[in-house]
Amino acid sequence: MMTKSLYAVAVFLIAIVIVADAECEVGPVKDVHFEMDKFLGKWCWIYHEPNDVEKNIGCIKDSFQQSNTLTFFTNTSFYNESTKEIQSAIYTVPHWNSTSFTQDPDSDGAIWTSTFFFVSLDYKKYAALKYCLKGWDKPVTLIGFRRCDPDEHTIKEAKDSLDANGGRSDTLLKYKYCDCLKDL
């Protein structure tokens, strides 16, 4: 009897470890016919779903660039609330397709090693993405804009597009300290 109880506890603990270590699922993926060439340039990520992994992160600014015909990278800057400093990391973008792109770190301190899936996209105005963070068991939604100070109409358009494509804008919060990244 005691052996069965110990066995049941062991199986339960193993199941918890497997579930906790499993990758999260972003749900249905939309084919937005993503084109990296059109996505190049500045993106200011202003709205996000709060999570413990990014709890000390303020606004994020990416500059997607092309270094040669086949190599793309992004220089990512963000405000770290715990150190009160702007920090940077460089990522390569080795893979992309019509629904997503993947970024891998080229530097220490890189937080966002993931595949980012598009929920909605307007190359000139906004992008809504879902991705999984290492150490977090559910997908995170993010809305970014071409301008770091988007007008209310563009914000509403991005949120409405997210909602119309299976996302939920009512779960998003605005990152803090967005002003400090405007001039980078």
Domain 26-181, CATH number (from 3.40.1160.10, 3.40.50.300, 2.40.128.20, 3.30.830.10): 2.40.128.20
Please give the pLDDT value at position 140.
87
Q: What is the DSSP letter of 173?
A: E
**pLDDT: which is higher, 5 or 149:** 149
Task: Report the C-alpha gap between 141 and 45 in whole angstroms.
Answer: 10
Query: What would the 3-class secondary structure string for 106-154 be?
Result: CCCCCCCCEEEEEEEEECCCEEEEEECCCCCCCCEEEEEECCCCCCHHH
pLDDT over 90 (residue 98): yes
Please give the pLDDT value at position 108.
55
Count of CB atoms situated within 10 Å of the CB of 60: 22
Q: What is the pTM of this model?
A: 0.79
The arithmetic mean of pLDDT across residues 3-19, rounded, is 31
